[in-house]
């Protein structure tokens, strides 16, 4: 995260007086990310992440924070928002909506193998089942409606080949809506850097600020396109062993259905499209103040082209 809204130790110490987390001992900006301002916060009581929300609609924030609280209450290792003395998760800090959440231990894994993919699958399924009793509702903010808006914005920057890929994929996806697939809150952005591992187990799932209600299987598709590649740099086809480990880990906790089998190749393409579009958007229409480099959109274009290319997607049988 780039820091869009600086926070001083003195400002934070005053702000924390409205919480029950003890006294501030350290404050450290987090450089990764492009959506919000994030700091690591350490107090006499624990370790936290402070987020100042820079451009998420204020109306969506309770969905994210309450979802994280709900999942944490169920034992899912998601960050737990800390309530302030007014019992709220959201407060104002330096003119921004801000929240304090627990900081989870562990490190992300750059080159996951089948074992990590199996862990991820099981965690996804547990998260989906735990989310069934969540009362909040927010349609996936990066769903098909958003695709069309984003596509219009980035299309002028594309060459003819890429325009054709985009147009064809939007046309293809419009043929499918999957109203019968099991749905609920999904993370929708569970790339490798949003999962923390410790001793081979997932110790944290972070960054729920793209979560929304959509097909559960879309979460698996987003993960497969990032976790299960043969090689992220040189061969972005799905590797059989990792993809099957992901799906089998999931299936052992929540049984995948015949309907989901049918939807799998389409959702792999949908997941690729969604991230190609956002990468294109961040690349061609960057916002002011972003210090980190936008991800190269070509990585996702390649994944989309491969998924749309007709090779059969691995599935459990």
Tell me which residues touch its own copies (CB under 8 A). Answer: 19-22, 44-46, 48, 69-77, 80-87, 100, 122, 126-127, 129-130, 132-133, 201
**Rounded CA separation 175/173 (Å):** 5
Q: How far is the CB of 133 from its own copies (least distance, A)?
A: 4
Least distance (Å) between residue 104 CB and its own copies = 11
Q: What is the maximum alpha-carbon separation in the chain?
A: 58
Nearer to its own copies, 199 or 317 (CB): 199
Shortest Å, Cβ 20 to its own copies: 4
In this complex, which beta carbon is closest to its own copies, that of residue 103 or of residue 192?
Answer: 103
Pick from 117, 113, 120: nearest CA to 203 = 120
Q: Closer to its own copies by CB, 66 or 144: give it.
A: 66
What is the rounded CA–CA span in Å between residue 109 and residue 32?
16
Cβ–Cβ under 8 Å, residues 257 and 217: no
Closest approach, Cβ 296 to its own copies, in A, equals 35
Shortest CB 80 distance to its own copies, Å: 7
Query: Which residue lies nearer to its own copies by CB, 21 or 166?
Result: 21
Could you tell me the smallest distance in angstroms from the CB atom of residue 227 to its own copies?
19
* Closest CB to its own copies among residues 77, 112: 77
Q: Indicate if the alpha-carbon torsion angle 99, 57, 65, 250 is positive or negative.
A: negative
CA distances from 230 to 33, 110, 113, 220, 243 (A): 26, 13, 10, 17, 10
Residue 34 or 76 with smaller CB distance to its own copies: 76
Copy the structure tokens of residue 109: 């894994």
Contacts with 126 (C-beta within 8 Å, 6 or more apart), sequence order: 76, 253
Report the distance separating Cα 180 and Cα 307, nearest Å. Answer: 23
């Amino acid at each position: 995260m780039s820091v869009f809204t600086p926070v001083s130790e003195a400002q934070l110490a005053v702000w924390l007086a409205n919480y029950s987390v003890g006294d501030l001992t350290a404050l450290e900006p987090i450089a990764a990310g492009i959506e919000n301002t994030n700091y690591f916060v350490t107090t006499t009581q624990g370790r936290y992440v402070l987020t100042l929300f820079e451009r998420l609609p204020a109306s969506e924030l309770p969905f994210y924070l309450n979802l994280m609280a709900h999942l944490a209450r169920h034992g899912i290792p998601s960050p737990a928002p800390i309530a302030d003395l007014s019992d709220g998760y959201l407060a104002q800090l330096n003119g921004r909506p801000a929240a304090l959440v627990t900081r989870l231990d562990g490190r992300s894994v750059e080159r996951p193998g089948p074992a990590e993919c199996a862990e991820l699958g099981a965690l996804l399924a547990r998260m989906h089942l735990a989310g069934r009793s969540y009362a909040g509702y927010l349609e996936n903010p990066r769903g098909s409606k958003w695709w069309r808006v984003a596509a219009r914005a980035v299309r002028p920057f594309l060459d003819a080949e890429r325009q054709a890929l985009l147009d064809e994929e939007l046309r293809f996806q419009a043929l499918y809506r999957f109203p019968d697939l099991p749905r609920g809150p999904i993370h929708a952005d569970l790339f490798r850097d949003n999962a923390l591992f410790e001793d081979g187990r997932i110790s944290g799932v972070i960054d729920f600020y793209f979560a929304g209600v959509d097909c559960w299987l879309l979460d698996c598709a987003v993960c497969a396109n990032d976790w299960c590649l043969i090689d992220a740099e040189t061969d972005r086809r799905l590797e059989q062993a990792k993809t099957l480990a992901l799906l089998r880990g999931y299936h052992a906790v929540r049984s995948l259905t015949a309907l989901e089998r049918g939807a799998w190749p389409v959702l792999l393409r949908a997941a690729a499209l969604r991230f190609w579009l956002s990468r294109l958007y961040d690349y061609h229409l960057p916002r002011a103040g972003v210090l980190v480099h936008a991800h190269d959109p070509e990585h996702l274009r390649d994944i989309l082209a491969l998924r749309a290319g007709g090779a059969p997607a691995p599935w459990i049988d």
